[in-house]
Structure 1
Amino acid sequence: KGIVPISCEEIFKRIEANANKNLHYEVVVSVVEIYNELVQDLLIAPEDRPKKGLDIRESKLLGIYIDGVKKVPVDSYMAIEKTIDEATENRTVGSTLMNATSSRAHTVLTIEFKQVEKVPGDKDSVKVSMINLVDLAGSEKAGQTGATGDRLKEGAAINKSLS
């Protein structure tokens, strides 16, 4: 098993093992790709996405976040896996000699985990954690891929979006 299934299964095992009736948990996921300096939501069909991509913002309350990203509530690893499968259908891929479906973009799966504790006679206590699992784009050596034209340009600029 990979890191995504192990991490997700562990989250839900711990939720199920919780015996405290005052604790409530919420888990949401989002999936984006970073391609040619643009952030795109992989849970939105390509034809429905904004051409300029999504904006990365920062606030004192939320920290760094992606404005307008679709967040899907999930209650099991199976639900996360289904969401990942949907996102995978919308990924940007290109064919090279080394890989028929080489990923041309970095993919980021964000798992947002919220714990709400009901405190009798007081405000609820809320804790939020985020896990970002990143699948980096393929960056094979140009000579080995047989890439030309757009594939060659993509390969040369593939890691530029990470900075």
Structure 2
Amino acid sequence: TSSEGDELLRVGKLNLVDLAGSENIGRSGAVSQRAREAGNINQSLLALGKVINALVEHQPYVPYRDSKLTRLLQESLGGKNKTCIVATVGPAFSSLEETISTLEYAFRAKSIKNRPTMNSMVTKKELLADYTRR
């Protein structure tokens, strides 16, 4: 409790994101709406790749605002949060190109240096005020 008698809380956030894989429109046979969706997925993954490269290469500008995905992941990429990456690959020879791409992506992301910090204590009143402002 605080000196005023308010209960103090330590609050954290957990982001779980399934990036799936890049969508090969030609191979998947996607048309119309699904093809547009696949294109959007690829654009987001491309933007994420640019952010990862900028962080790994310690560039002064990191393009977080290039996609909604990178904005959502900003705190988890090079920020003060802990990050865990799970790369799922397939054993089939037909998946070799995608498997290599996934492993390269994960290897680059592994090189990002985060600076995890313990969250500060806040009162319930401050926490509610913060959430109502959003």
User: TM-score normalised to the size of structure 2?
Assistant: 0.33
The higher relative CO (CA closer than 8 Å, separation ≥ 6) is in 2
Higher strand content, 1 or 2: 1
Higher helix content, 1 or 2: 2
